[in-house]
Amino acid sequence: MKTNDALIKERNQHVPQGPFNTHPIFAQKAKGALITDVEGREYIDFAGGIGVANIGHCDEEVLKAVQDQIQKYIHTCFHVVMYEPYIELAKRINTIAPGKFPKKTMFVNSGAEAVENAIKIARHATNRPATIAFEDAFHGRTLLTVSLTSKSKPYKLGFAPYAPEIYRMPYAYCYRCAFGLEYPSCEIHCAYFLRTFFTTYVPAEQVAALIIEPVLGEGGFVVPPKEYFKILQKICQENGIVFIADEVQSGFGRTAKMFAIEHYDVEPDLITMAKSMAGGFPLSAVTGKAELMDHPQVGGLGGTFAGNPVSCRAGLAVLDQFEKKNLLARGKKIGDRVMKKFKELYEQHPIIGDVRGLGAMVGMELVVDRKTKEPATAFTKQLVTRCREKGLLMISAGTHSNIIRPLMPLVITDEQLEKGLSIIEDSISEIERG
Ligand SMILES: Cc1ncc(COP(=O)(O)O)c(C=O)c1O
């Protein structure tokens, strides 16, 4: 087998630099919460392929479902010859998604594609052009979704002009409040600011949708206060604006509920989901109010590979495994453990400025100085590298790339979890010692 270095040389020769790589290693195999590279080195996976492996790598039931499906047919295109797994999965998702109203679901292939479709549906249903998005948001890399995305480097640089009619508000990022306020004395000013926004930025009558992540993913695991989404949704309802929860990263059990917005007791008009929904197979969805979902004309939505039957069978197996293995409860346990450990580390290491989380979506923000909150971007990069050298795969997040965001599979064993956490602890101490 080729070495990592030999493969990196080939990669650089044949693949452009744009598609980035966090770790200079190539996979040989992956199972549960472990990845083995081509040189036989085993790593504990705290990245989960960026939140795709909530039910673990190569889950047995997913493998069985996929093997059964590929014996029958792999692709007929839903728009040419329909197939049952698409309908079955739509039915199941309509049942589990929040909302006590009739729902419908359509499938596409990636998170970005789900977001694109949700915006199209909202525009069609309202006959309005504008979308409100948020600072520190990440919604994808296609031209519309990168326009919705906030972080300018590397995502936006050089790709202008962006899609028009996108207006951006501050998110409820309490650690770095855009209004310089503190919760709860702020009285959730950042949510009520939406009313001012209609006066100073874009008239409500022109706004089709407000799209928001219930917990910021790429933006750094930022968890808004409990009142936040209810206020935003109420203002949207008053103004006929479609409220879209982008659950591409926070969904599918990551926060110990199937969808993070359930923690806030809010029923979004539309929900986008992807990542962990098909155990590693490409699949994404838009689920929402039937009257909205049915608005676009026949042929207005879809795609050649959209809702591939193999991915849909994998998606059905994922839902079965969540139930059989009680993965939501497991996610809560993992999240509690990570939170406890990160809080202990906070007490010992001034480099940690903030620890926050919801369910198993727990992050720590690293700062050079707790008073100035200057992002510790270089330290974070070193930490990710040092952890890998010690056998733990991690990824960072945040507009300043200074946030550690563990996305370990929820099937991780206690032993693997403890080992991963102690690698983080040891690595922080070692880097601090210099
Ligand atoms: C909240 C959110 N929306 C959309 C996307 C885009 O998903 P994809 O990379 O599958 O296009 C991501 C990806 O990280 C995400 O976290």
Closest residue by Cα to residue 306 from 103, 64, 114 = 114
pLDDT one-digit tens code per residue, 155-172: 999 999 999 999 999 999
Q: Nearest 10 degrees: CA dihedral of 244, 249, 255, 258? A: 60
pLDDT one-digit tens code per residue, 274-284: 999 999 999 99
**Residue 4 reports pLDDT greater than 90:** yes
pLDDT value for 401: 97
Residue 214 in contact with ligand 1 by CB distance below 6 A: no
* One-character DSSP codes across 251-283: TTTTTSSSSGGGGGT---SEEEE-GGGGTTS--
33 CA distance to ligand 1 middle (Å)? 21
Angle at alpha carbon of residue 254, lines to 19 and 212, rounded to 5°: 70
Amino acid at 209: A
Amino acid at 369: D
Class of residue 234 by CB neighbours under 10 A (exposed 0-12, middle 13-18, buried 19+):
middle
- 78 CB-side CA count, 13 A: 22
Q: How far apart are CA 418 and CA 37, in angstroms?
A: 21
pLDDT one-digit tens code per residue, 176-194: 999 999 999 999 999 999 9
Residue 138 in contact with ligand 1 by CB distance below 6 A: yes
141 CA distance to ligand 1 middle (Å)? 8
The angle, 0 to 180 degrees and rounded to 10, between the axes of the packed helices 189-200 and 228-238 is 30
pTM: 0.98
Burial 124-146 (b: 16+ CB within 10 A, else e): bbbebebbbbbbbbbbbbbebbb
pLDDT value for 413: 98
**Residue 1 reports pLDDT greater than 90:** no
Residue 115 in contact with ligand 1 by CB distance below 6 A: yes
Residue with tokens 């392929």: 49
How many angstroms separate the first and last alpha carbons of the chain?
36
Q: How far apart are CA 411 and CA 360, in angstroms?
A: 12
Amino acid at 82: M
Ligand 1, residues 131, 139, 155: which to mutate, most atoms within 8 A of Cβ? 139
